[in-house]
Amino acid sequence: MAVERTLSIIKPGAVARNLIGKIITRFEEEGLRIIAVRMIHLTEAQAKSFYAVHRERPFFGELVAYMMESPILALVLEGENAIARNRELMGATDPSKAMPGTIRGDFAVSVTRNTVHGSDSTETAAAEIAFFFSQADLFPRAS
């Protein structure tokens, strides 16, 4: 298995509800390494650009409005098979389908207000990490 990097976003509602620590603890207890962190309040242009793949979907406007509601925390997670492991930790996109014990199962409010985002492939992870971070922002660590 390869060491991978993936982008995680702790979304506005979760930051506003003081859930940063609880969510980061899940990553660390799983053994994923946090190698970069950035708090940012997305502009409309940034939110639209980040989620451009969804621009034709009926929920796009609601998604963009939510993502610019208040600051987010963007993180880069590193570890063996990090992309899939992070998605397992997150649980299903729709919290009504997310298992208890997953981040969304435990904290998400709705499909839009679903607490966290995580990259879904190596290609997406590379693009999403580059959206928020330069190489100099990353601090790889020996496991």
Taking CB under 6 A as the criterion, the residue among 37, 111, 126, 127 binding ligand CMP is 111
Dist. CA 67–CA 45, nearest whole Å = 11
Residues 59-78 that bind ligand CMP (CB under 6 A): 59, 63
Q: Which residues does the annotation mark as catalytic?
A: 117
- Tell me if 50 sits within 8 A of 63, measured CB to CB: no
- H or E element at residue 87: helix 82-90
Binding region for ligand CMP (CB under 6 A) out of 36-44, 68-76, 80-88, 110-118: 110-118
| Residue 141 Cβ vs ligand CMP, minimum distance, rounded to whole Å | 26
Kindly determine how many residues on this chain lie close enough to bind ligand CMP according to the rule CB under 6 A.
8
* Contact status: 114 vs ligand CMP (CB under 6 A): yes
Beta-carbon count within 10 A of 55 CB: 12
Interaction site with ligand CMP (CB under 6 A): 54, 59, 63, 93, 111-112, 114, 117
